[in-house]
Structure 1
């Protein structure tokens, strides 16, 4: 009988990603009413955290168990590197190829990041 030891962590990660997505939708809807030209900056700010963090969460929870301790640590290290590369790539594309407002892009990135921290705190205490 195989038990997925990473199942609670996977569920928590999915809930956190859903919270980030909903916060991003709220910021997008507010930006559409405030100034539609800022929407691209807001979307890219949310995407620049949401996509790399989702890839990181997938990468980290691929393996679980005491017998795979070394593989889990290696996977987490690789996931962090991949997250950094993806975030950098999205920022480079946003700032070099698209006309974005840096303050709004970085603000949306920061709000999405803080919402993830808050969600993890609230959800981990709740469970």
Structure 2
């Protein structure tokens, strides 16, 4: 029963993950073709900085379900939100330590990947398994 309560959320999170992977690949190829290798790597890193903390959040958000576990659900949701925030900051700090990183492709890919999940949630949320 509990698995069925979280199954739809997990499935949606997977579909959004795949959508973001496609966006990251397209952006990286775009920057590789038009701006070079360093821009493509920066773009890839920007997309990953957005996507990986989202995966961490989804893991914690859909870990428990059910009325009997409502406190655990809230605790895990809060824990996932905090970890997402802190891992995003840590990833940005680590990436900006490299000299070859170009800020514009990195931030642009981060923002585009972040914004791409909003229409993905709307459109992919309607798709049933």
Partner in structure 2 of residue 38 of structure 1: 39
The structural deviation recorded for 1:2 is: 5.9
Distance 1:38 1:90, change over 3 A: same
The structural deviation recorded for 1:3 is: 4.8
Partner in structure 1 of residue 126 of structure 2: 125
Aligned to 1:96, the other structure's residue is in SS state coil
The structural deviation recorded for 1:80 is: 0.5
Partner in structure 1 of residue 7 of structure 2: 7
RMSD of aligned Cα (Å):
1.4
Superposition TM-score, scaled by structure 1 size: 0.93
Q: What are the ranges of 5 or more consecutive residues in structure 2 without an aligned counterpart?
A: none
Question: What count of residue pairs does the alignment treat as equivalent?
Answer: 127
Aligned to 1:63, the other structure's residue is in SS state coil
Structure 1: distance between partners of 2:41 and 2:32: 10
Matches within 5 A, 1:108-119: 108-119=109-120
Partner in structure 2 of residue 73 of structure 1: 74
**Contact 2:2–2:64 (8 Å) recurs in 1:** no
1:58 aligns with 2:56: no
- For residues 22-75 of structure 1, the C-alpha deviation after alignment (integer angstroms, 9 at most, x for no partner) is 010111111111122201210110010111101110111110111100100000
Structure 1: distance between partners of 2:15 and 2:6: 14
Superposition TM-score, scaled by structure 2 size: 0.92
Aligned to 1:97, the other structure's residue is in SS state coil
Matches within 5 A, 1:11-26: 11-26=11-26
Moved more, 99-108 or 8-17: 99-108
